[in-house]
């Protein structure tokens, strides 16, 4: 079966052919580290983790390189550091904010069952590569220096003769329309109203680095050039897959393509551009003002990470997803059942009924339907398939124990009550045995009597 992926640039599904099957390369835009990541941010992390796992399955773990950056220079980081840690010098406060947020991000996405990428480059460690790209762009006539800024000119790019993509091709926009529709009150140092920043001056006290040639003052990079630099350093001028959320197509990814292709005189930056759809909560756009803004951290207090993961993968990655409590509850029940059936079983090969939908542009809803089918027919293939998708990281007992812990149920106390109830039943004191059953139910514990004895579980 062919492996096909939808490419945002070509606007179609295409057979995936890696540039080098021994070195398959993927870049995904990572977090800007200034605050807890929300559940929308978890979507690209989970989706591209599934793709990473599938690529490893197909090409071998040693032959896939996954790069996801950490943006640790940004106005939002500076603002947060100044607000939360006013007693510290700004640079120290920034370091604290980025380190703590980065740690929190790792804890969150580890709990979601995501593998760490092969490389997690930090923007501030790639300033040299950014300067080099910027200098190449200025030398090539695609960018210019003005008032201590360096600006990229999309118009210069589209006026260049050949061998370059057209600015606007990825986001399917026409540069002429962008020019016509742009704001008129653009910054005075910009020659064209669609020109974007590659480098800018830092305010006093803000992080700053030696600027590209032609600028005496220290400054800092624009956001888009960070990703061009990190992708270049770790994956080369041209690689296989570039991913992120749909909101990044324009301007972020359009500008990344422009920078990289113009700096290295290339027709392409990545062969496949992949974008996940947006997540909304209970049918509403997630926002702090609506009060429906949920962090991964908050959700993890109530749900195991694998429940969040399954809930995310029930929807195809390109469709919008409506994140609801009802769906979470269903996902939790499904995983409880899969854990009971398959967590302690020796995993077999992932079933082709699960792998084949994944090969069709990561059709996870269809793969999950196939998992339900395996539940009744082949639990060893179910176990192997679930592991391929990043589930079953715990034993059945650990899973059950965690549920009990999360619910605050004291397992020892439950066992004691159950043996009291068994004793009451033996002496035919049914009033007492019913009383104990009701007491357990009030504690959130469901019991089941069988010939082998009484078993119990925490009812969600
Ligand atoms: P940001 O921190 O806003 O740059 O976002 C980090 C990643 O999360 C990017 O790939 C965004 O496209 C993605 N993202 C942000 N909000 C959502 C959302 N509501 N649904 C899906 N993806 C999102
Ligand atoms: Zn990026």
**What's the CATH number where 196 sits?**
3.40.50.620
Question: Does the residue 288 lie in any domain?
Answer: no
Question: Does the residue 287 lie in any domain?
Answer: no
- For residue 381, the domain's CATH number is 1.20.120
Residue ranges near ligand 2 (ion) with Cβ within 5 Å: 29, 227
Give the ligand at the shortest distance from the Cα of 37: 1
Q: Dump the DSSP string for 106-173.
A: HHHHHHTTPPPPSB--BGGG-HHHHHHHHHHHHHTTSEEEETTEEEE-HHHHHHS-SSSPPTTTTTT-
Give the ligand at the shortest distance from the Cα of 294: 1
Residue pLDDT, tens place only, 347-387: 999 999 999 999 999 999 999 999 999 999 999 999 999 99
Nearest CA among 242, 239, 235, 227 for reference residue 266 = 239
**Residue whose pair of structure tokens reads 């990572």 in the numeric block:** 30
CA of 2 to the centre of ligand 2 (A): 29
Question: Does the residue 285 lie in any domain?
Answer: no
Q: What is the pTM of this model?
A: 0.91
Residues 322 and 180 in one domain: no
Q: What ligand 1 atom has the least distance to the C-alpha of 279?
A: 20
The domain total for the chain is 3
Does residue 70 register a pLDDT over 70?
yes
CA of 118 to the centre of ligand 2 (A): 17
**pLDDT, mean over the chain:** 95
Question: Does the residue 293 lie in any domain?
Answer: no
Of 398, 421, 436, the position where a domain reaches its end is 398
Q: From atom 1 of ligand 1, which residue's Cα is the shortest distance away?
A: 31
Residues 392 and 430 in one domain: no
Residue pLDDT, tens place only, 8-42: 999 999 999 999 999 999 999 999 999 999 999 99
The domain in which residue 328 lies consists of: 302-398
333/339 Cα distance (integer angstroms): 10
Joined tokens for residue 7: 């490419």
Residues 102 and 246 in one domain: yes
98/365 Cα distance (integer angstroms): 35
Phi, psi dihedrals of residue 220, rounded to the nearest 5°: -145, 160
Residues 235 and 367 in one domain: no
Question: Does the residue 264 lie in any domain?
Answer: yes
CA of 182 to the centre of ligand 2 (A): 23
Residues in the chain: 460
10/22 Cα distance (integer angstroms): 25
- Mean pLDDT over residues 99-116, rounded? 97
Question: Does the residue 332 lie in any domain?
Answer: yes
State residue 460's pLDDT score: 61
What is the 3-state composition of the chain as percent helix, strand, coil, each rounded to the nearest 5?
50, 15, 35
Residues 160 and 250 in one domain: yes
Residues 200 and 235 in one domain: yes
- Mean pLDDT over residues 105-122, rounded? 98
Residues 113 and 244 in one domain: yes
366/379 Cα distance (integer angstroms): 18
Give the ligand at the shortest distance from the Cα of 44: 1
Q: Which one of 44, 67, 282, 323 would you pick to mutate in the ligand 1 pocket, going by the greatest count of ligand atoms within 8 A of its CB?
A: 44
Question: Does the residue 284 lie in any domain?
Answer: no
Among 180-184, 257-261, 296-300, 341-345, where is mean pLDDT lowest? Answer: 180-184
Q: Which one of 29, 33, 37, 41 would you pick to mutate in the ligand 1 pocket, going by the greatest count of ligand atoms within 8 A of its CB?
A: 41
- Mean pLDDT over residues 190-211, rounded? 95
Does residue 236 register a pLDDT over 70?
yes
- Mean pLDDT over residues 289-309, rounded? 93
Residues 247 and 315 in one domain: no
Residues 317 and 394 in one domain: yes
Residues 340 and 434 in one domain: no
- Mean pLDDT over residues 210-236, rounded? 96
Joined tokens for residue 72: 């640790």
Q: With bands split at pLDDT 50, 70 and 90, how would you rate the model's confidence at 177? A: very high
Residues 216 and 197 in one domain: yes
State residue 44's pLDDT score: 98
CA of 328 to the centre of ligand 1 (A): 20
Does residue 287 register a pLDDT over 90?
no
379/375 Cα distance (integer angstroms): 6
CA of 30 to the centre of ligand 2 (A): 7
Joined tokens for residue 335: 């995983």
Question: Does the residue 435 lie in any domain?
Answer: yes
Q: In the structure, which protein residues have their CB atom closer than 6 angstroms to any atom of ligand 1?
A: 29, 31-32, 40-41, 43-44, 244-245, 247-248, 276, 278-279, 286
CA of 2 to the centre of ligand 1 (A): 30
In this prediction, what percent of the chain has a pLDDT beyond 90?
Answer: 88
CA of 442 to the centre of ligand 2 (A): 50
Give the ligand at the shortest distance from the Cα of 30: 1
Give the ligand at the shortest distance from the Cα of 101: 1
Q: From atom 9 of ligand 1, which residue's Cα is the shortest distance away?
A: 245
Q: What ligand 1 atom has the least distance to the C-alpha of 321?
A: 20
Residues 161 and 258 in one domain: yes
CA of 306 to the centre of ligand 2 (A): 27
Q: From atom 14 of ligand 1, which residue's Cα is the shortest distance away?
A: 41
- Mean pLDDT over residues 136-153, rounded? 97
Q: From atom 11 of ligand 1, which residue's Cα is the shortest distance away?
A: 245
Does residue 152 register a pLDDT over 80?
yes
Nearest CA among 228, 273, 287, 247 for reference residue 43 = 247
């Amino acid at each position: 079966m062919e492996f096909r992926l939808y490419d945002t640039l070509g606007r179609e599904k295409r057979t995936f052919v890696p540039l080098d099957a021994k070195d398959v390369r993927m870049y995904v835009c990572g977090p800007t580290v200034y605050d807890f990541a929300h559940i929308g941010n978890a979507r690209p992390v989970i989706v591209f983790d599934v793709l990473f796992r599938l690529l490893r399955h197909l090409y071998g773990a040693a032959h896939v390189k996954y790069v996801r950056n950490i943006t640790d220079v940004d106005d939002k980081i500076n603002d947060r550091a100044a607000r939360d840690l006013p007693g510290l010098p700004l640079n120290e406060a920034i370091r604290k904010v980025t380190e703590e947020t980065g740690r929190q991000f790792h804890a969150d996405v580890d709990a979601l069952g995501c593998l760490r990428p092969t490389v997690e480059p930090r923007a501030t460690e790639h300033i040299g590569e950014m300067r080099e790209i910027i200098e190449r762009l200025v030398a090539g006539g695609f960018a210019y220096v003005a008032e201590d800024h360096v600006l990229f000119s999309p118009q210069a790019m589209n006026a260049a003769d050949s061998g370059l993509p057209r600015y606007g091709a990825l986001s399917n926009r026409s540069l002429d329309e962008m020019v016509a529709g742009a704001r008129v009150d653009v910054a005075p140092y910009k020659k064209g109203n669609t020109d974007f920043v590659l480098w800018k001056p830092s305010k006093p006290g803000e992080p700053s680095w030696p600027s590209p040639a032609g600028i005496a003052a220290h400054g800092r990079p624009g956001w888009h050039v960070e990703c061009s630099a990190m992708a270049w350093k770790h994956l080369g001028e041209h690689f296989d897959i570039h991913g992120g959320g749909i909101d990044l197509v324009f301007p972020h990814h359009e500008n990344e393509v422009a920078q990289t292709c113009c700096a290295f005189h290339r027709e392409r930056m990545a062969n496949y551009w992949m974008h996940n759809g947006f997540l909304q909560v209970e049918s509403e756009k997630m926002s702090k003002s609506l009060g429906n803004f949920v962090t991964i951290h908050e959700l993890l207090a109530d749900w195991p990470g694998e429940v969040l993961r399954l809930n995310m993968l029930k929807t195809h990655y390109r469709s919008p997803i409506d994140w609801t409590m009802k769906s979470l509850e269903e996902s939790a029940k499904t995983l409880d059942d899969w854990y009971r059936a398959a967590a302690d079983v020796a995993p077999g090969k992932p079933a082709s009924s699960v792998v084949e939908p994944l090969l069709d542009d990561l059709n996870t809803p269809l793969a999950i339907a196939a998992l339900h089918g395996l539940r009744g027919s082949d639990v060893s293939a179910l176990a192997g398939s679930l592991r391929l998708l990043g589930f079953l990281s715990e034993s059945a007992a650990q899973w059950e124990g965690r549920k009990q812990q999360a619910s605050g149920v004291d397992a020892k106390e439950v066992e004691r009550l159950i043996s009291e109830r068994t004793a009451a039943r033996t002496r035919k004191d049914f009033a007492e045995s019913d009383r104990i059953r009701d007491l357990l139910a009030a504690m959130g514990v469901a019991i089941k009597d069988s010939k082998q004895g009484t078993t119990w579980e925490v009812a969600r």
